Structure 1
Amino acid sequence: MLGLGNLAKKVFGTPNDRKVKSTRPLVQRVNALEPQFQQFSDEQLIEKTRELQGRAQGGESLDNLLPEAFANCREAARRALGLRAFDTQLMGGIFLHQGNIAEMKTGEGKTLVATFPAYLNALAGKGVHVVTVNDYLAKRDAEWMGKVFAALGMTTGVVYPFQPDEEKRAAYQADVTYATNNELGFDYLRDNMRGSIAEMTQRGHFYAIVDEVDSILIDEARTPLIISGPSQDRSELYRTLDAFIPELDETHFKLDEKTRNATYTEEGNEYLEQRLQQAGILPEGQTLYDPESTTIVHHVTQALRAHKLYQKDQHYIVRDGEIVLIDEFTGRMMAGRRLSDGLHQAIEAKEGVAIQPENVTLASVTFQNYFRLYEKLAGMTGTAATEAEEFAEIYKLGVVEVPTNRPIARQDEHDRVYRTATEKYEAVIEAIKEAHAAGQPILVGTTSIEKSEMLSAMLKAQDIPHNVLNARQHEQEAKIVADAGKPGAVTIATNMAGRGTDIQLGGNIEMKVMEALAADPEAHPDQLRGKIESEHADEKQQVLDAGGLFVLATERHESRRIDNQLRGRSGRQGDPGRSLFFLSLEDDLMRIFGSERLDKVLSTLGMKEGEAIVHPWVNKSLERAQAKVEGRNFDIRKQLLKFDDVMNDQRKAIFSQRREIMESDEVEDIARDMRHQVIDDLVDEYLPAKAYADQWDSAGMNQAVRDGLNMDLPIAEWAAEDGVDRDVVRERLIEATDGYMDAKAQLFGLENMRNIEKQVLLQMIDQKWREHLVTLEHLRSVVGFRGYAQRDPLSEYKTEGFQLFETLLEGLRGEVTQRLAQIRPLTEAERDEMLRQYAQAQAETQGNMVAEHEEAEGGEVEGRVAGFDENDPTTWGSPSRNDPCPCGSGKKFKHCHGQLH
């Protein structure tokens, strides 16, 4: 019997069905226009774009223009790429234009779908950003879809790391710009550290379409983007503390794997106190419980976490003497990313590699707050429904499931649960052997590099040929994925399985053609393609007969979404396929989240070794465990966001103030208001409102005016005059300082003075904001303890954060006023001395350069890129962070010219 809810759905349809139904009239209107647009010449398609741009910028709503814009875009894509968008793709485009997340299964052509809303919204002339998960996809999609936009008379740009500023600025000026989430966030932060509007690269945040939206807005949202500069070197401290950890036993600490936290027990604290005092790190008589020990406690805790909770080849790998983090969600290496609060240094000490100094934050933003800057946001992914609540609450985004073009024919089997990991892996090998023998391609999903390599060793022992796809094989990713659909192919992958490259049954034709042409450049491309296509048809039929792609997962992930991503690799575009998860009670998810009850059930059933339990109830209970973990992670991100929102309001205020200063030609008004406010504060402090004139601190006021305003004024004499009250003193001070600064402006020249004021204002804002960020970080780390005193940490953080911000503004006014009051033109003697020093420095530089050239036997310096110019980044090529610097110094680029200043 149907429940009431199910009955209602049967009669009225689900909310999702109703949304899908609502787009059908629009799709029909686009289809009705198709014959008319097919008659257009190539020039007429571009003319249509110009007409639509005129109407959009003249005030006509984009919703009105949608049918014509989509029809124009569909025709351009058909001509440029040979792809005619299906009705379901048009639906996806409509949902994206409306500011939703379109959930579309793998292989449904999301890359093409994005061109429709991107084109429509670009008509407004404000720029559209298409966001991808990595630089390879940004460049690939921009090049591929750029052909469609070019056929429509629109420009396409691509943004990538270490791109010269001029090129980057041009990319952001394009109608449609492809970029990664990281680069967009960093450019936003860099722009808000620039000295003038002309140097800024981004031109606003109008509309963004985020590909793999769940990965970017959820998985990566826990880590803020940070631009930082180095602080003091503490490498000796890390090494010393690291040596203590192996001495500890299990009575000294407690681990919480769920939250990745570690704490010391009483015994552990006592033991550490002894060792730290012996090493001279903890002064005699001081305990770890004293407030002065906060920093030491922090670092010994981080050392413990590094040893016990961060595993090599699972959470990070060691590459070229550096610790490279691995993204737990995609299995990709995150080059250049570092853990904060000294944790990265603790891992470097543990692995015995060079310890990089900790960094001081110069600017930071979370992805949540960056993407909420856009007037309209949309996203695409194969798996979003499980996180619909988070998308709605944080980003105000609805999730709509777009129907597939052809019905899904994949069979998802019930999980098989074994008692031990050994039994599970034996069963996995048997299943692979069976499918391989039948000629069925198999994609094996693992959760870590370590497990993928262990499984690889087991397959080698059985002489089963296979490919391994993990962070170590990152560069061969596209090639491995392209071959994964060949008959009998076995591909072991960490969670990154095939991002951005589809697994096509029988193998990828395009990749085969490219390989064949590379092997035989003399061959005729058309003949070669014909031969490969006929071979491919046979291989595809073999795979179809064997049952399509078999997705075999060796573990469930913490998130149902990642499991669904893996499943979704099979059964694309109506292909047959099957998916099956193998689990054991020793898996992390089962072990941490309640496998005891299941263990009892299995024992009661009296299961024999090697037997598995297969039942829908097991799937249900596992999904409940995963939903709990997802809920907990959502709460963590929500809490993070609440704290970051406090800083975000302040960040917006500071960044908008900076922008106002950069845009303004008349900054003397801002400087004057600040000076007058400083005078008001001085009068309030030294000449209190309710005090008599003989109680005023005239001497203190005199000194403060000398220090802060660079003027020696007879304040004591003013105070002694009859009838002079504090308002008269204020007016005289304002008059005197305004006159002093006006005279200074005449001396420098008005234009020069305005430039000086602008630069001083920007420098002081940046300096004060940097100091404020450090203070907020410290406040954040201690405010959690207020919970023990029954006080809400968040409201404490808000209150104190606001007080700190007021202090920042107060300090800013004082320092800007003081700096401007003290500047003066150079005397002739000082100018001559400066010019002499400059000439001497130039001569020394020339001498060094000559010596370097002689050393390199009259040629370029060894390793230097030809035409390299120190002052022109466009001559540096495009080195990655770990490549040798193009200047030829022999250092890595990131430690030389690639340093973030």
Structure 2
Amino acid sequence: MISKKKHILLAEHEALEEILPDAFALAKEVCKRLCGKSWSVVGRETKWEMIPYDVQIIGGIILHRGNVAEMKTGEGKTLVAVFPIYLNALAGRGVHLITVNDYLAQRDAEWMGEVYRRLGLSVGYILNSMHPDQRRSNYLCDITYGTNNEFGFDYLRDNMSLQKEDQVQRGHAFAIVDEVDSVLIDEARTPLIISGAVDAPVDSSFIDLKPSIQNLVKKQNILVTDIINEANNLFESGKEKEAGYKYLQALRGMPKHPKLLKVFQEAGPKKLAFQVESEYMRDKKLYEVDEDLFFSVDEKTQVIDITEKGRNTLAPNNPDMFVIPDLGELLNDVDTNKALSQLDKDKEKEKAHQLHADRSGKIHNLTQLLRAYTMYDKDVEYVVQNGRVQIVDEFTGRILSGRRYSDGLHQALEAKENVTVERETQT
């Protein structure tokens, strides 16, 4: 079956290569005939004045053959894509143009759309605000413009659909990626994760734990401010190693502290902090830097660890609060207790499971609240609109409507911002 499919694809590729000169020539002729004509592009009347140069046609050939074409701003990437898109759309299996934001998807689809329509092809585009029926209709077009997020999440949703009629995409035959370095390198660091609501009650512990975390963060903020002041004095006195230690301590205590960010605009203090960090990591003594803090934050891995000082502040009268019991050991103790009946053993096992779940759940929620307060800033990573926390795309700055952080982080942000804490989601 696979070899048969490969044979068909190879035959298709050979056929497209054979008609490439005629197809590209036809597309160029349409561009010539459209010169001087105008049509609406994102609500603005736009006059067509583009006839491709030979070098742009060469760029189209490069794209058709699956290679990367580097073009500087203003050299006509949008027009270059028209040629391989038209050629591959002739196969009838659909072509996707992946761009960086919704505006460009709509603009380019409407701008280049007149060329495609003159060539007998249909054009559509996918926007974040579209409902499934609109998406399905646009995916059925010969050519579809959209962002990598929209194509990716539609693919994930289609794979979760229980019925074929709920799916919106029709296949993945040929795609051109605009700003390929951004999509395949920068944004590739952020996985596309789809989530759905869990059939469970809303976890109220985020609200219950919030006052304690607010107090802890306030104490840490005051402490880090003092550490930065001390580091600055040491730096000005020429005691660079001691200053580097303090800068590192401040970085691990509150990486987004405004005063620290201002200091780190200068290369010297930041370099000293990283030098000390490398030294302590090499000697496996990084824990010594964290001992005077209430909690430590590893900005690279986003791992937060509550120190002994922090644990004593959060639960001075309950030292066992942060000790997660060994479930295997607890269950073994129950099984080997001959004084218990089978019914009593079952009850004790249920208690052990509940204790383990409660402790680990509370520690997890504490950590997520700390992450919400120290690593996620309002109007940067997220905004609050209409009583809801909305994620902001770190690359485009656009709001990702309907998306939620997983593992309780979104609930922690909702508790932080005093909006309704919604149900947990599962990925």
Residue 18 of structure 2 aligns with an amino acid whose one-letter code is N
| Counterpart in the other structure of 1:268 | 310
Residue 226 of structure 1 aligns with an amino acid whose one-letter code is I
Partner residue of 1:299 out of 365, 389, 394: 365
Partner residue of 1:254 out of 296, 308, 313: 296
SS of residue paired to 2:69: strand
The reply on whether 1:160 has 2:127 as its aligned counterpart is: yes
Task: Return the alpha-carbon distance in structure 2 between the equivalents of residues 242 and 125 of structure 1.
Answer: 56
| Counterpart in the other structure of 2:182 | 215
Give the superposition deviation at 1:137: 2.2
Task: Return the alpha-carbon distance in structure 2 between the equivalents of residues 257 and 319 of structure 1.
Answer: 27
Give the superposition deviation at 1:346: 1.1
The reply on whether 1:341 has 2:309 as its aligned counterpart is: no
SS of residue paired to 1:71: helix
Deviations 1:399-458, CA, capped at 9 Å, x for gaps: xxxxxxxxxxxxxxxxxxxxxxxxxxxxxxxxxxxxxxxxxxxxxxxxxxxxxxxxxxxx
| Counterpart in the other structure of 2:422 | 356
Give the superposition deviation at 1:208: 0.8
The reply on whether 1:87 has 2:54 as its aligned counterpart is: yes
SS of residue paired to 2:171: coil
- CA 326–210 in structure 1, closer or farther in 2 if over 3 Å, else same: same
Deviations 1:563-595, CA, capped at 9 Å, x for gaps: xxxxxxxxxxxxxxxxxxxxxxxxxxxxxxxxx
Residue 228 of structure 1 aligns with an amino acid whose one-letter code is G
Task: Return the alpha-carbon distance in structure 1 between the equivalents of residues 64 and 13 of structure 2.
Answer: 17
CA contact (8 A) 1:77 1:84 kept: yes
Residue 111 of structure 2 aligns with an amino acid whose one-letter code is W
| Counterpart in the other structure of 2:67 | 100
Name segments (4+ residues, structure 1) moved above 6 Å: 56-59
| Counterpart in the other structure of 2:192 | 224
Give the superposition deviation at 1:345: 1.3
SS of residue paired to 2:390: strand
Task: Return the alpha-carbon distance in structure 2 between the equivalents of residues 57 and 285 of structure 1.
Answer: 69
Give the superposition deviation at 1:149: 0.7
CA contact (8 A) 1:231 1:359 kept: no
Task: Return the alpha-carbon distance in structure 2 between the equivalents of residues 301 and 88 of structure 1.
Answer: 55
1:366-445 to 2 correspondences below 5 Å: none
Partner residue of 1:70 out of 4, 13, 24: 24
SS of residue paired to 1:136: helix
- CA 338–153 in structure 1, closer or farther in 2 if over 3 Å, else same: same
Give the superposition deviation at 1:354: 1.9
Deviations 1:5-33, CA, capped at 9 Å, x for gaps: xxxxxxxxxxxxxxxxxxxxxxxxxxxxx
1:445-844 to 2 correspondences below 5 Å: none
Task: Return the alpha-carbon distance in structure 2 between the equivalents of residues 151 and 343 of structure 1.
Answer: 50
1:36-75 to 2 correspondences below 5 Å: 60-75=14-29
Task: Return the alpha-carbon distance in structure 1 between the equivalents of residues 124 and 114 of structure 2.
Answer: 12
Task: Return the alpha-carbon distance in structure 1 between the equivalents of residues 135 and 321 of structure 2.
Answer: 54
Partner residue of 1:132 out of 83, 86, 99: 99
SS of residue paired to 1:84: coil
SS of residue paired to 1:201: coil
CA contact (8 A) 2:197 2:423 kept: no
- CA 320–163 in structure 1, closer or farther in 2 if over 3 Å, else same: closer
The reply on whether 1:177 has 2:140 as its aligned counterpart is: no
Give the superposition deviation at 1:300: 0.7
TM-score, normalisation: structure 1? 0.31
SS of residue paired to 1:82: coil
Residue 74 of structure 1 aligns with an amino acid whose one-letter code is K
Which deviates more, 197-206 or 342-351?
197-206
- CA 155–253 in structure 1, closer or farther in 2 if over 3 Å, else same: same
SS of residue paired to 1:101: coil
RMSD: 2.6
CA contact (8 A) 1:269 1:288 kept: no
CA contact (8 A) 1:131 1:211 kept: yes
- CA 106–345 in structure 1, closer or farther in 2 if over 3 Å, else same: same
- CA 312–168 in structure 1, closer or farther in 2 if over 3 Å, else same: closer
Give unmatched runs, 5+ long, in structure 2.
1-9, 35-47, 221-292, 327-355
Task: Return the alpha-carbon distance in structure 1 between the equivalents of residues 191 and 12 of structure 2.
Answer: 41
Task: Return the alpha-carbon distance in structure 2 between the equivalents of residues 164 and 304 of structure 1.
Answer: 36
| Counterpart in the other structure of 2:383 | 317
Deviations 1:337-361, CA, capped at 9 Å, x for gaps: 3221111211221121222221123
Task: Return the alpha-carbon distance in structure 1 between the equivalents of residues 294 and 29 of structure 2.
Answer: 69
Give the superposition deviation at 1:115: 0.9
| Counterpart in the other structure of 1:114 | 81
Task: Return the alpha-carbon distance in structure 2 between the equivalents of residues 59 and 305 of structure 1.
Answer: 50
- CA 166–316 in structure 1, closer or farther in 2 if over 3 Å, else same: closer
The reply on whether 1:288 has 2:326 as its aligned counterpart is: no
Task: Return the alpha-carbon distance in structure 2 between the equivalents of residues 149 and 90 of structure 1.
Answer: 16
Residue 145 of structure 1 aligns with an amino acid whose one-letter code is M
Task: Return the alpha-carbon distance in structure 2 between the equivalents of residues 247 and 315 of structure 1.
Answer: 23
Give the superposition deviation at 1:59: 7.5
- CA 220–232 in structure 1, closer or farther in 2 if over 3 Å, else same: farther
| Counterpart in the other structure of 1:148 | 115
CA contact (8 A) 2:101 2:396 kept: no
CA contact (8 A) 2:205 2:362 kept: no
Give the superposition deviation at 1:253: 0.8
CA contact (8 A) 2:295 2:306 kept: yes
CA contact (8 A) 2:122 2:141 kept: yes
Task: Return the alpha-carbon distance in structure 1 between the equivalents of residues 373 and 131 of structure 2.
Answer: 40
Deviations 1:809-865, CA, capped at 9 Å, x for gaps: xxxxxxxxxxxxxxxxxxxxxxxxxxxxxxxxxxxxxxxxxxxxxxxxxxxxxxxxx
Task: Return the alpha-carbon distance in structure 2 between the equivalents of residues 212 and 58 of structure 1.
Answer: 27
| Counterpart in the other structure of 2:159 | 192
SS of residue paired to 1:131: strand
CA contact (8 A) 2:197 2:425 kept: yes
Give unmatched runs, 5+ long, in structure 1.
1-55, 278-283, 362-901
Task: Return the alpha-carbon distance in structure 2 between the equivalents of residues 170 and 183 of structure 1.
Answer: 15
Give the superposition deviation at 1:73: 1.1
Give the superposition deviation at 1:156: 1.4
Task: Return the alpha-carbon distance in structure 2 between the equivalents of residues 272 and 121 of structure 1.
Answer: 62
Task: Return the alpha-carbon distance in structure 2 between the equivalents of residues 199 and 314 of structure 1.
Answer: 35
Task: Return the alpha-carbon distance in structure 2 between the equivalents of residues 310 and 166 of structure 1.
Answer: 35
| Counterpart in the other structure of 1:382 | none
CA contact (8 A) 2:153 2:192 kept: no
Task: Return the alpha-carbon distance in structure 1 between the equivalents of residues 166 and 296 of structure 2.
Answer: 51
Deviations 1:303-344, CA, capped at 9 Å, x for gaps: 111112222233223233222233333333333332211112
- CA 88–227 in structure 1, closer or farther in 2 if over 3 Å, else same: farther
Deviations 1:168-193, CA, capped at 9 Å, x for gaps: 33322222112222222232233334
CA contact (8 A) 2:27 2:83 kept: yes
CA contact (8 A) 1:252 1:268 kept: yes
Give the superposition deviation at 1:287: 4.2
Residue 20 of structure 2 aligns with an amino acid whose one-letter code is L
- CA 163–332 in structure 1, closer or farther in 2 if over 3 Å, else same: closer
